[in-house]
């Protein structure tokens, strides 16, 4: 079957090339001056020979990239990109038509993986030599070269390859590795009677043992060659008439399960999955056209004769009245008044341009904040008191749920009291935009996750169930027909399902509450909230502990949105926004709600110096997928140890040659030792590998936000990258 496919592809390439040569010959005959008679015309058309560049138009490409393994190792059966191996590729391409190309492909590289799961400790490295044919489609009919210098591409085909898989079982002194439960590597088994005299080993990462000859699973000498089907895509960047830059990713679906030496038929803990092994090549390459460009294809000498070069001197891209050669501030907004150098005017000299200065003029004796408002003594005193607060008087508080309080050792005497509320809705997936706007328009709404997927949205908090019933009736009158009364107890939510249960709760509530009446009701008018961003993965509450109470909502496109509690005035919301920006959420913004709907800030009564700010406000709750975190506050460090007390002489002696060591005291009293501070996760991983070579095999990467430890996944989510 594969042999037939190769024959068909080669025949198609030859037939298409012949067709092109005939079409080009006909085109050339049509471009000739009309001959004097029919005989001469016939002779002229017949004697035109095909040119080499019209039949065979090869381009040669050389590339380099990273080979990533997908197979039986690792819990997710895929290795992190940061541990991928390097690979090289050679591509010879022949166009079949304007958009289709036949590519002759060669690849050489290495695949590898290192798994440390305790119950299974496996590693391998495999040399890959591959060749094949691919058909590529580059969308050139949609992305024409004269209008776009880039275009996407996709390709598929068939490949044959061979592989040589080896594993690292011994160090450079010949000792066999034994992996102990404490994470160390020794020269004898942990259950060995002489284990007390075992010595530590360090992996040399020399893959000396042939997996096939090892025959750990009784597979014998299986063939180390197979076929694969590539599926790839990426972008082509047109550099000039000869050169093209290509970047993309190709998934190689192999027909073998022996790349890593493990299959579902392997023995004991070595057993893998039934799926075949796969690998991915993410690469970039430079492609060069080998066919000499015809002289007639170059621009004529008089091509630029009618071009007014002086017009370029007067070009004004941002339309501010200052030509680009004299403009010191390019791309100034059109609403901004500019000076002679093209920069926004700042009449009151408060370092905030007038076009977004919210206070004109600011007195010269005052320092302005980021929006041009003068900082009063009271504002400065408030900020000072909060920043240097040592008593906790100005600290913001957060509500811990029952599990968190128990874990923190906090005893809450009110945890077993019933807190009656009104259940408005529950969703297993995302919340539609219109319903989300309605929920956020309710001042005291809160969200509670039940199980792993269901989120319940409730409003109100009452000691007397009658108040909750009255509030429920108000929601029903507004159109929320499914509103019902429930309660929280011990951090858990309980639904009141039947009329009998409701009557029982009414009786118990009457016995436990006074005769005082409280008027319940939905908050009317406009309310404001500060949006803290939307993220592809859920974030822990600890990341928002500096901004008070928050609400988490899952949008219908899979994002997790976080907003603050409600405010009843725009000024109070702006103050809250300024506070959260100071706490590290630089792109937070204010949103307004009224009568169950999201409204614009202009409609809510807010004014804008820059009218474009009002026009650019997005009111669709599902489209405000903003990352509000200040990414510069996220760092990665390599933890090399955690001790019960600082200044341990033996440990200090061990780390004396490690640079940039920092000691951090944790909330539990441990002293965490870290090395380095990196803004890039891959840099931290490389640093960890360097420490492992020095004997710090237990070192691992940690992430921090504003000096506090967060998960690696949360850090990558904030930075907008993937692990």
Residues 348-386: tens digit of each pLDDT = 888 888 877 777 788 877 888 877 888 887 777 777 666
673 and 655 in a common domain:
yes
Better pLDDT: 87 or 533: 87
639 and 609 in a common domain:
no
Q: Yes or no: say if 272 and 74 are a contact pair by the CB < 8 Å rule.
A: no
Please determine, for residue 30, whether its predicted confidence score (pLDDT) is greater than 50.
no
Better pLDDT: 540 or 107: 107
SS3 of residue 71 by DSSP? coil
pLDDT at residue 89 in the model: 96
149 and 226 in a common domain:
yes
Better pLDDT: 22 or 239: 239
The mean pLDDT of 245-273, rounded to a whole number, is 91
Q: Is residue 24 part of a domain?
A: yes
The mean pLDDT of 425-437, rounded to a whole number, is 82
What percent of the chain lies above the pLDDT cut of 90? 21
C-alpha to C-alpha distances, 324 to 319, 331, 335, 401, 427, nearest whole angstrom? 10, 10, 18, 58, 54
pLDDT at residue 118 in the model: 74
Cα 122 from Cα 267, distance rounded (Å) = 13
pLDDT band at 410 (very low <50, low <70, confident <90, very high): low
pLDDT at residue 296 in the model: 53
647 and 619 in a common domain:
no
Which of 498-507, 512-521, 643-652 reaches the highest mean pLDDT?
498-507
pLDDT at residue 185 in the model: 92
Please determine, for residue 656, whether its predicted confidence score (pLDDT) is greater than 50.
yes
387 and 244 in a common domain:
no
pLDDT digits (tens, 9 = 90+) for 201-252: 999 999 999 998 888 888 888 999 999 999 999 999 999 888 999 999 999 9
pLDDT digits (tens, 9 = 90+) for 582-608: 888 888 888 888 888 888 888 877 766
Q: How many domains does the chain have?
A: 5
Better pLDDT: 645 or 214: 214
DSSP secondary structure of 549-581 = -EEEEEBTTS-EEEEE--BSSHHHHHHHHHHHH
pLDDT band at 282 (very low <50, low <70, confident <90, very high): very high
Please determine, for residue 521, whether its predicted confidence score (pLDDT) is greater than 70.
no
Q: Is residue 281 part of a domain?
A: yes
Q: What is the three-state SS of 27-42?
A: HHHHHCCCCCCHHHHH
pLDDT at residue 722 in the model: 52
Query: What is the number of alpha carbons within 13 Å of residue 588 lying toward its C-beta?
Result: 27
Please determine, for residue 471, whether its predicted confidence score (pLDDT) is greater than 70.
yes
For residue 161, what is the enclosing H or E element?
A: strand 150-167
589 and 525 in a common domain:
yes
Q: Is residue 497 part of a domain?
A: yes
pLDDT at residue 34 in the model: 45
Q: Is residue 296 part of a domain?
A: no
The mean pLDDT of 520-540, rounded to a whole number, is 75
488 and 566 in a common domain:
yes
pLDDT at residue 101 in the model: 92
Q: Of 21-35, 52-66, 142-156, 321-335, which gets the smallest average pLDDT? A: 21-35
SS3 of residue 25 by DSSP? helix
C-alpha to C-alpha distances, 564 to 323, 330, 492, 588, nearest whole angstrom? 45, 37, 22, 10
End residue of a domain, out of 593, 627, 661: 627
pLDDT at residue 149 in the model: 86
234 and 130 in a common domain:
yes
Better pLDDT: 141 or 277: 277
pTM: 0.40
Q: Is residue 530 part of a domain?
A: yes
Q: Is residue 401 part of a domain?
A: no
Q: Yes or no: say if 283 and 87 are a contact pair by the CB < 8 Å rule.
A: yes
Please determine, for residue 32, whether its predicted confidence score (pLDDT) is greater than 70.
no
Range of the domain at 273: 57-159+222-289
Better pLDDT: 631 or 300: 631
For residue 423, what are its two tokens? 């259940």
pLDDT digits (tens, 9 = 90+) for 444-468: 888 888 776 788 889 888 888 888 8
530 and 654 in a common domain:
no
Please determine, for residue 84, whether its predicted confidence score (pLDDT) is greater than 50.
yes
pLDDT at residue 613 in the model: 53
The mean pLDDT of 50-68, rounded to a whole number, is 79
Long-range contacts for 40-45 (Cβ within 8 Å, ≥24 apart)? none
622 and 635 in a common domain:
no
Q: Is residue 313 part of a domain?
A: no
Question: What CATH code is carried by the domain that includes residue 649?
Answer: 3.30.70.1070
Better pLDDT: 311 or 201: 201
Cα 169 from Cα 179, distance rounded (Å) = 11
Cα 218 from Cα 212, distance rounded (Å) = 9
End residue of a domain, out of 576, 602, 627: 627
Q: Please report where in the chains the tokens 């192999």 appear, as a residue.
A: 254
Better pLDDT: 560 or 311: 560
The mean pLDDT of 306-320, rounded to a whole number, is 79
pLDDT at residue 230 in the model: 97
542 and 578 in a common domain:
yes
pLDDT at residue 162 in the model: 96
End residue of a domain, out of 335, 366, 395: 395
The mean pLDDT of 188-206, rounded to a whole number, is 91
| Closest to 226 measured CA to CA, from 108, 155, 130 | 130
Q: What are phi and psi of 366, to 5 degrees?
A: -110, 150
Q: What are phi and psi of 50, to 5 degrees?
A: -70, 140
Task: State the chain's mean pLDDT as an integer.
Answer: 79
Query: Of how many residues is the chain composed?
Result: 723
Please determine, for residue 700, whether its predicted confidence score (pLDDT) is greater than 60.
yes
Query: What is the number of alpha carbons within 13 Å of residue 665 lying toward its C-beta?
Result: 4
487 and 623 in a common domain:
yes
Q: Is residue 169 part of a domain?
A: no
Parallel/antiparallel/unpaired status of strands 661-665 and 597-599: unpaired
């Amino acid at each position: 079957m594969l042999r037939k496919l190769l024959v068909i592809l080669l025949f198609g390439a030859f037939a298409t090339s012949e067709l092109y040569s005939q079409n080009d010959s006909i085109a050339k005959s049509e471009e000739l001056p009309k001959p004097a008679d029919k005989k001469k015309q016939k002779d002229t058309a017949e004697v035109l020979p095909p040119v080499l560049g019209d039949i065979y138009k090869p381009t040669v490409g050389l590339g380099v990239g990273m080979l990533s393994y997908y197979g039986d190792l690792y819990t997710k059966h895929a290795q992190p990109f940061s541990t991928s191996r390097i690979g090289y590729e050679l591509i010879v391409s022949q166009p079949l038509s304007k958009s289709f190309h036949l590519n002759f492909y060669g690849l050489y590289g290495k695949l590898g993986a290192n798994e440390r799961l305790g119950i299974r400790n496996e590693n391998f490295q495999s040399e890959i030599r591959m060749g094949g044919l691919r058909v590529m489609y580059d969308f050139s009919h949609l992305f024409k070269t004269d209008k776009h210098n880039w275009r996407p591409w996709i390709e598929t085909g068939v490949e044959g390859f061979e592989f040589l898989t080896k594993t690292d079982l011994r160090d450079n002194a010949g000792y066999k590795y034994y992996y102990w439960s404490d994470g160390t590597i020794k020269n004898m088994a942990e259950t060995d009677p002489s284990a007390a005299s075992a010595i530590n080993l360090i992996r040399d990462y020399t893959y000396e043992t042939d997996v096939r000859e090892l025959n750990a699973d009784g597979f014998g000498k299986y063939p180390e060659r197979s076929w694969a089907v590539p599926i790839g895509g990426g972008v082509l960047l047109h550099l000039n008439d000869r050169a093209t830059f290509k970047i993309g990713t190709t998934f190689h679906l192999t027909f073998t399960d022996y790349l890593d030496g493990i299959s579902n038929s392997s023995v004991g803990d070595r057993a893998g999955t039934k799926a075949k092994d796969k690998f991915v090549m993410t690469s970039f390459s430079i492609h060069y056209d080998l066919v000499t460009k015809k002289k007639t294809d170059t621009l004529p000498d008089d091509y630029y004769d009618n071009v007014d070069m002086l017009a370029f001197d007067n070009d004004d891209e941002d339309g501010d009245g200052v030509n680009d050669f004299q403009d010191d501030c390019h791309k100034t907004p059109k609403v901004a008044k500019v000076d002679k150098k093209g920069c926004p005017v700042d009449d009151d000299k408060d370092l905030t341009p007038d076009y977004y200065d919210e206070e004109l003029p600011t007195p010269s004796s005052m320092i302005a904040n980021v929006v041009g408002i003068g900082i009063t003594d009271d504002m400065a005193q408030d900020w000072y008191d909060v920043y240097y607060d040592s008593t906790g008087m100005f600290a913001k508080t957060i509500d811990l749920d029952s599990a968190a309080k128990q874990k923190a050792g906090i005893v809450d005497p009110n945890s077993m009291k019933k807190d009656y509320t009104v259940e408005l809705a529950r969703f297993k997936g995302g919340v539609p935009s219109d319903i989300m706007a309605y929920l956020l328009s309710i001042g005291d709404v809160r969200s509670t996750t039940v199980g792993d997927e269901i989120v319940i949205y409730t409003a109100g908090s009452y000691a007397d169930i009658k108040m909750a019933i009255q509030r429920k009736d108000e929601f029903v009158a507004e159109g929320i027909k499914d509103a019902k009364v429930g309660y929280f107890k011990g951090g858990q939510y309980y639904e009141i399902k039947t009329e009998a249960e409701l009557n029982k709760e009414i009786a118990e509530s009457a016995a436990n509450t006074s005769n005082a009446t409280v008027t319940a009701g939905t908050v009317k008018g406009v309310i404001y909230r500060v949006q803290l961003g939307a993220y592809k993965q859920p974030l822990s509450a600890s990341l928002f502990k500096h901004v008070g109470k928050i609400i988490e909502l899952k949008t219908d496109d899979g994002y997790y949105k976080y907003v603050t509690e409600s405010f009843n005035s725009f000024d109070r919301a702006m103050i809250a926004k300024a506070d959260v920006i100071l706490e590290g959420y630089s792109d937070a913004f204010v949103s307004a709600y009224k009568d169950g709907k999201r409204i614009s800030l202009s409609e809510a009564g807010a004014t804008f110096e820059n009218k474009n700010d009002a026009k650019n406000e997005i009111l669709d709750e599902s489209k405000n997928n903003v990352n509000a975190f200040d990414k510069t506050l996220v760092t990665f460090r390599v933890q090399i140890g955690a001790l019960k007390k600082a200044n341990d002489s033996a440990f200090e002696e061990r780390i004396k040659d490690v640079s940039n060591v920092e000691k951090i005291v944790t909330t539990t009293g441990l002293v965490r030792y870290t090395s380095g501070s990196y803004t890039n996760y891959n840099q931290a991983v490389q640093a960890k590998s360097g420490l492992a070579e020095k004997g710090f095999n237990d070192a691992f990467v940690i992430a921090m936000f504003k000096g506090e430890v967060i998960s690696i996944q949360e850090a990558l989510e904030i930075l907008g990258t993937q692990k």
